Structure 1
């Protein structure tokens, strides 16, 4: 099956073609520079930019892969969770193509697609424990199959990516904050007593990073020399680390606090579900070097396989939507034209139509 995937859940406009569960081609338009002006994603601007670029991106994808629209056999679209206006742009294109080409349509859970994305490169073992760590989500799920995911823990306030972005804003570092903070962290060792491991003195699998943000704010308020004098889109990381004593250590300590918190929760989940065979991690924050090391160490310690996608598959992309779509469509799962977008904070309904 040749499946088209459409991803517009936040600030990346992406389209991809997957044939027989292997990537044929992908086109992506990033809005990073535009939203960097505001220190975070502005929903109205994001949806307008999706609308502006999605048509030309589709044409470019077909041209680059020498594919005719009529060759597409199935259409998959991210239906949520995400920004409602952004999701509706992708959903509009998906429905229009499904009607005009008379092809099956399936709406994909953006978070599940993240966890299935490594299937583009390797076989996935089930049952598996899954972690989604991104700008909008920090969730742990139990995957008994590609079609059955139960969420065991979620973020109660700030997602892990928000913690990075808000810290970067305090330090006058560019958006997205995680990339710059991780780069600065390479120039120091963490002080494991500087920042707390937030929301771990309990027995649940949920996350809360708002307290960590508050702890960082207090340190920055007491040490204004940590703040970069000018926000640069591409800062000179070695120079910045050298000119701001303590900045690299704070970044390394933040990395440690977040990664060790996630590791503790994952070990707790593993102990409750000894049947799992793999730990799958996805989402933009999984590109963080410290977190990747902690995830690999956690999997080894628990005797399961670590499944960490390459960097390009960590962030929002359409390849994961196309891959998940091909898996679902080939198994007989689809949606009708009444498919709705589901914004962040609302559960996605199990409303698939079984087709032969």
Structure 2
């Protein structure tokens, strides 16, 4: 896409010359090496995405991400991706970007370091400001960007709720401003993405994104079988012909002590059933085809049922009613973002099964970022960095280090933030 940097707009008094500014963004918090170039062409509109280059570490044969392999992968690819992107779009020392944004955390320390140190070097060489971005803030703010499947839905309005399910995170966040976030629901143990991946692996599936493979497998199951599976009683093994037990954690529990996601139980259920089932089919096979379809469908469906159940309980505790505190009353926008947010079944269940009566709102606007922006990407890092730069006039010092664990409610409570001078700020943002 070709982007015009010089735009003429008409004001009530005269024609004004506008200079857009370009942002180079880099992401390498886990197993994706990404660089992107964005153009902030208008003060009141989201940035345009000029381009993104991305490579993903292939971990299919090793059963998960090996940290040392991820570090080597980023060291091999981040700089070369940036070089190719810059060459394609005429970015150089004589025509540098105006701002550099890089993921500072949370994430794997070695992976983060690869792009942070590289970004520092570019910041010094090109003499442009650097912004170290919170990875989950990047996911949270993707709903500001245009949405292909929701072209008529604009950005969310504060306060809004976000279900963030990316990497080791599964949480529901109440956001009142760019940096004012309250964790309403968090996860205990493994995250939903880990649970889906591990369950899919136990079912014999193979691939680099096992949660996506599980979704494709479930989507191909005939509806008549799904109807049969849904009628099954799985409260005990003896209650169904498959001898499979699967219950939803904390189902119906109404206590703040139980207000967290718990996904380890689903993996345990599959592992226990695998041990029980061993030896009941021909050697070399794991399950008969229909049993495998049943397991795949019920695991994905009940994991999402658990998420819906906990969110509805959070609505009840923080909505209306004599025992509620009312902090969510009136919230009208809900974002679902992160890798698992690309699952269309989860999206449908959120739209149809959340109980909005507890929030005292007639309807909720759901924001689902484009599928390409659900997985880790540099575009979201650039967008979040632009927000921090424009709204708070913040940049990062060259002494910043990676942050492995960085709570969403403490985005500004870390070292390395520097408020920019008016001259430096205006030198970038020349609207």
State the TM-score, normalizing by the size of structure 1.
Answer: 0.89
| DSSP 3-state at the match of 1:316 | coil
Q: CA deviation at 1:336?
A: 0.8
Q: CA deviation at 1:216?
A: 1.5
| DSSP 3-state at the match of 1:29 | strand
Q: 1:339 to 1:213 in 2, by over 3 A?
A: same
After superposition, residues 131-142 of structure 1 pair within 5 angstroms as 131-142=163-174
Specify which of 404, 407, 413 is matched with residue 350 of structure 1: 413
> Does 1:159 find its partner at 2:191?
yes
Specify which of 345, 352, 359 is matched with residue 297 of structure 1: 352
Separation in structure 1 between the aligned mates of residue 199 and residue 352 of structure 2, nearest angstrom: 26
Question: Which residue in the other structure is 2:261 paired with?
Answer: 207
Separation in structure 1 between the aligned mates of residue 170 and residue 250 of structure 2, nearest angstrom: 13
Kindly report structure 1 stretches of 4+ aligned residues shifted beyond 6 Å: 225-228
Question: Which residue in the other structure is 1:338 paired with?
Answer: 399
Determine if contact 2:308/2:350 at 8 Å carries over to the other structure: yes
Q: CA deviation at 1:9?
A: 0.5
Moved more, 196-205 or 108-117: 196-205
Q: What are structure 1's unaligned runs of at least 5 residues? A: 232-240
Q: CA deviation at 1:337?
A: 1.1
Q: CA deviation at 1:230?
A: 8.1
Question: Which residue in the other structure is 1:71 paired with?
Answer: 96
| DSSP 3-state at the match of 2:336 | strand
> Does 1:26 find its partner at 2:71?
no
Determine if contact 2:315/2:355 at 8 Å carries over to the other structure: no
Question: Which residue in the other structure is 2:271 paired with?
Answer: 217
Q: What are structure 2's unaligned runs of at least 5 residues? A: 1-20, 41-46, 147-153, 235-245, 319-327, 358-362, 423-431
Separation in structure 1 between the aligned mates of residue 282 and residue 354 of structure 2, nearest angstrom: 36
Q: CA deviation at 1:228?
A: 11
Q: CA deviation at 1:299?
A: 6.0
Q: CA deviation at 1:348?
A: 5.5
Separation in structure 2 between the aligned mates of residue 283 and residue 227 of structure 1, nearest angstrom: 39
Question: Which residue in the other structure is 2:181 paired with?
Answer: 149
Larger-Rg structure: 2
Question: Which residue in the other structure is 1:114 paired with?
Answer: 139
Question: Which residue in the other structure is 1:264 paired with?
Answer: 309
Q: 1:264 to 1:103 in 2, by over 3 A?
A: same
Q: CA RMSD in A?
A: 2.4
| DSSP 3-state at the match of 1:179 | helix
1:52-87 Cα offsets, whole Å, 9 max, x none, are 011110011123334345331111111111111001
Separation in structure 1 between the aligned mates of residue 52 and residue 250 of structure 2, nearest angstrom: 39
Determine if contact 1:114/1:282 at 8 Å carries over to the other structure: yes
Question: Which residue in the other structure is 1:245 paired with?
Answer: 290
State the TM-score, normalizing by the size of structure 2.
Answer: 0.74
- The size of the alignment, in residue pairs, is 344
Specify which of 169, 179, 183 is matched with residue 201 of structure 2: 169
Determine if contact 2:130/2:396 at 8 Å carries over to the other structure: yes
Determine if contact 1:16/1:27 at 8 Å carries over to the other structure: yes
1:80-110 Cα offsets, whole Å, 9 max, x none, are 1111100110111111111111111111111
Q: CA deviation at 1:179?
A: 1.0
Q: More helix per residue: 1 or 2?
A: 1
Q: CA deviation at 1:202?
A: 4.7
Q: Which protein, 1 or 2, shows the higher relative CO under an 8 Å CA cutoff with sep ≥ 6?
A: 1
Specify which of 260, 266, 283 is matched with residue 338 of structure 2: 283
Q: 1:257 to 1:27 in 2, by over 3 A?
A: same
| DSSP 3-state at the match of 1:36 | coil
Question: Which residue in the other structure is 2:86 paired with?
Answer: 62
Determine if contact 1:116/1:324 at 8 Å carries over to the other structure: yes
Q: 1:30 to 1:42 in 2, by over 3 A?
A: same
Q: 1:330 to 1:3 in 2, by over 3 A?
A: same
Q: CA deviation at 1:113?
A: 0.6
| DSSP 3-state at the match of 2:290 | coil
Moved more, 222-231 or 142-151: 222-231
